[in-house]
Structure 1
Amino acid sequence: MSRRHVPAVIGLVAGALVAVPVPAAHAASVQVRCSVPDLVAAINEANASPGPDTLRLADRCTYTLTAPDPENPGNGLPVITSEIAIEGHGATIRRDGHAGKVPRFRILFVSDTGNLTLTRTTISGGFATDCPAFPGFPGLACGGGISNAGTMKVTRSRFTGNTSRADVYAQGGGIDNPGTGSVSETEVSGNRVIYSGSEAGGVAAGAGIANDGPLKVTHSRLTGNTASVTKAKESFAFGAGIISFAETTIKNTTVSGNRSFAPNGFARGAVANGIPEPGRMRVTGGAITHNTSDAPHGFAQGGAIANNALMTVTKVEISGNRAVARDGNARGGGVRLGPFGTLDLTDSRITGNTADAPNGTAQGGGLDNPDGGTLRARRNKVLRNTVTAKDGTAQGGGLYAAGGSAGTTTLEENTITHNRAGDGGGIFKASGTLTLNGDVVRDNRPNNCSPAGAVPGCTG
């Protein structure tokens, strides 16, 4: 009898049925040898036993998966259905990457009853072809490294080289979180999310992380991830670093070197706040730098941030990002708001970002609020941003504001200097409501605000 399994004991005493109290289940700790069969067996044993279990992997071992779990072929390891902690000790769990020889599967799936704590472990080479949190929907793929429908806590780990690919909708190249999750002191790098279909309207979202349920990301790095779509017209690649469809908190985290690529379609920010939802995305501290949204013959919208819901950004470095659309439309080299977006931007630096659309239209090198969103910006530095469009239109080096009667941009105590564009080097206001309150707008080229007289309190 296993020491972790305590049977119920029932006795008849003096003609009465008496239940003997069952002792509480105790946590068990298991050392897992450097062997895939041992790891599979340990997970199955932990799922079957009462109480929490800790699996301690062999130091720096590489557990190479060559076949999927026979009961759940979308996953490499058995589904996590109970409370399990995996202490990696520097170990790697990877799918064998030999093309054509190993089936495609993600590494881990946490079911709605599961609770996984993952520490000091590398998850690599996973390849999602289904979406276990949303069964019955063909053409979906979610979570190349891990998909969490329960509870997940990831600490001091790495997710690298994982892929989610589908011919309708793909999300979460590294991590997909429709459950409750936290990620801390973790590197999410070199993951991919790919829409491979041929029809218009396909989606590739969240190459690093995709979030559909409350998630906290702290002291982590989301770098070098890629979201891409085929050349089908009007498909969407967005959130190359992280995409949020629910309550998301990002604190003291670096999002850098990610790329959204959508020829003839829509490429949107490395940090993307998706469809309008009750949840808010909060980004505090850290940096969003050197990311690219690239949409030749299409629409590049927000090199760093694309927000179409509720969002708060505080004390963040937003620099060196690019929105690029040859023969297309590039908006918001740094930050772009959608028609339903509300953004509170405070004490941040928006510097050295670029919107570039050769033979097209480029607007909003630093900040872009073109479609009726609400932007409230206070005490930010908007410096040295650029809008270029060879043989095209280039407006609003620091800020572009429009949106008709619905668009609202409120500025207070910001510094908007040394930005440049074809017109409105500092600010270009096409429409909407824009107010200044103690802002410094100077030394922009070829002018500070345009059209003349459009921005009360701004001259030159």
Structure 2
Amino acid sequence: MSRRHVPAILGLVAGALVAVPAPAAHAAAVMVRCSVPDLVEAINVANSSPGPDTLRLAHKCTYQLTAPDPASPGNGLPEIRSEITIDGRDATITRDKKAPKFRILFVAGTGNLTLDRTTIKSGFAVDCPFFEDQFPGIVCGGGISNTGTMKVTRSKFIGNTSQSDVFAQGGAIDNPGTGSVSETEVTGNHVVYSGSDIGGGAAGAAIANDGPLTVTRSRLTGNIATVTKDTQSFAFGAGIISFAETTVKDTVISKNRSFAPGGFARAAVSNGIPEPGRLTVTGGAITHNTSDAPHGFAQGGGIANNALMTVSKVKISGNRAVAEGGTARGGGVRVGPFGTLDLTDSHITGNTVDAPNGTAQGGGLDNPDGGTLTARRNKVLRNTVTAKGGTAQGGGLYHAGGPAGLGTTTLEENTITHNRAGDGGGIFKASGVLTLNGDVIRDNEPNNCSPAGAVPGCTG
């Protein structure tokens, strides 16, 4: 589903003498007054002109959109169809909350948008151009939907929404094209499944990626994914959902919430479906996120992986998986039945799982359904599993082989200490293959590993 744009580099060398061509002429930056009609006109002119164009917005201006673009009513501004740079100069482009619903920007397949120092605010998506022919009813990208090429730098996405009664994704940013986001704040955005049918979904309250996409030195905070109560629907990836190749570097993903009463709430950082394309997270922090599914299934507070994933040097702390009267698993990290996760040199600390009158498992790490987890040189500390009136197992790690018994967890040189659960304070192994190699497992409550003798090399 992704687009590929391959830049060409041309050189000219002829005989003994080299003719050096003059630099290509570039139009000067266009100064856009603090006026929505002027901004609309500037985009239309840039789309129709050859070569790249730069639109320089009025410093700290608020461009308030009161109506959608007549030619593309799902969008507030004209489609980006050529190579355009918007130099925001700390300006804001926002939808008037009394206006009809529309996203702010759409990048067409031929478009190449660079967005710098711009706030995109209060967009409200009503369609999804990339999927509308194959999957009518999907809604995506409340702030921006990119099907071409997109580069976002030093910008903000605040209070954008994607809502559908079928499937909604990308509350702030939806990227089926080729994209990058750097030094950008994505906060207070929403993705909502509002239908009544069984099995709907809301994915990626901040960012949804059908890729490829790179996110660097950014902050995804306070975003919310919700679904209709008791529809057995899925709210997942309140920070970021990956359906294709995704790289996240040195980024803070914090205080996001997936809420699915009677359904499935999955972590702030999620892989969508088991298909080619690895989600790689390096550096940064995944902290204080919540997956809440009363009378349902909370699957991962910080990370939920069900495809290919690599995590290295990440602080995963203070995350919660909560399911009153249901099943809650993986406060820090959860590996699904099709997941393969390589986890190295990270801190998984202070995460909690709580399921009053239900089942709670895997405070720090959870691999319950047949996935593959390889963990090296991590610190799994002070994670907690509670279930008043229910079952609480695996404070540091819960492992089971899944229905076929094929799940594997390989631990090498990890420290698993001061974790707490009803049973298996350090590790609870229900079935499958779990191996230790140089790990330190001590000072967990009420025991280090359970059932007794289930984990070779671990006692207590």
Do they superpose with TM above 0.5? yes
2:155 aligns with 157
1:256 corresponds to which of 254, 257, 266: 254
SS of the residue 1:359 aligns to: coil
Q: Which amino acid aligns with 2:86?
A: I
1:71 aligns with 71
SS of the residue 2:298 aligns to: strand
SS of the residue 1:333 aligns to: coil
2:277 aligns with 279
2:431 aligns with 431
Fraction of identical pairs, as percent: 82
CA distance in 2, matches of 1:432, 1:116: 49
Give deviations 1:269-323, integer Å, cap 9, x for gaps.
Answer: 0000110121101100000000000000000000000000000000000000000
SS of the residue 1:198 aligns to: coil
Q: TM-score, normalised by structure 2?
A: 0.94
Q: Is it true that 1:108 corresponds to 2:105 in the alignment?
A: yes
1:374 aligns with 372
Q: Which amino acid aligns with 1:131?
A: C
- Greater shift after overlay, 403-412 or 431-440? 403-412
1:32 shift after superposition: 0.2
The answer on whether the counterparts of 1:25 and 1:50 sit within 8 Å (CA) in structure 2 is no
CA distance in 2, matches of 1:302, 1:169: 21
SS of the residue 1:37 aligns to: helix
Moved beyond 6 Å, runs of 4+: none
The answer on whether the counterparts of 1:28 and 1:52 sit within 8 Å (CA) in structure 2 is no
1:26 shift after superposition: 2.7
1:83 aligns with 83
The answer on whether the counterparts of 1:86 and 1:119 sit within 8 Å (CA) in structure 2 is yes
CA distance in 1, matches of 2:127, 2:25: 35
Paired residue total: 437
CA distance in 2, matches of 1:164, 1:233: 19
Q: Which amino acid aligns with 2:137?
A: G
2:337 aligns with 339
The answer on whether the counterparts of 1:199 and 1:232 sit within 8 Å (CA) in structure 2 is no
Q: How does 1:91-102 map to 2 (within 5 A)?
A: 91-98=91-98, 102=99
Give deviations 1:150-202, integer Å, cap 9, x for gaps.
Answer: 00000000001000000000000000000000000000000000000001110
Q: How does 1:92-241 map to 2 (within 5 A)?
A: 92-98=92-98, 102-136=99-133, 137-241=135-239
SS of the residue 2:437 aligns to: coil
Give deviations 1:319-362, integer Å, cap 9, x for gaps.
Answer: 00000000000000000010010000000000000010000000
2:356 corresponds to which of 358, 375, 378: 358
Structure 2: state its 5+ residue gaps. 1-22
CA distance in 2, matches of 1:329, 1:25: 62
Structure 1: state its 5+ residue gaps. 1-22
Give deviations 1:29-60, integer Å, cap 9, x for gaps.
Answer: 10000000000000000000000000000000
CA distance in 2, matches of 1:135, 1:78: 19
1:134 shift after superposition: 1.4
1:436 shift after superposition: 0.3
CA distance in 2, matches of 1:436, 1:79: 55
2:299 aligns with 301
CA distance in 2, matches of 1:336, 1:58: 46
The answer on whether the counterparts of 2:418 and 2:442 sit within 8 Å (CA) in structure 1 is yes
Give deviations 1:68-102, integer Å, cap 9, x for gaps.
Answer: 0001100000000000000000000000013xxx1
CA distance in 1, matches of 2:333, 2:272: 14
SS of the residue 1:277 aligns to: coil
Give deviations 1:431-457, integer Å, cap 9, x for gaps.
Answer: 110000000000000000000000000
CA distance in 1, matches of 2:24, 2:415: 62
Pairwise CA RMSD of aligned residues? 1.3
SS of the residue 1:193 aligns to: strand
CA distance in 2, matches of 1:339, 1:170: 24
SS of the residue 1:47 aligns to: helix
Q: Which amino acid aligns with 2:60?
A: R
SS of the residue 1:382 aligns to: strand
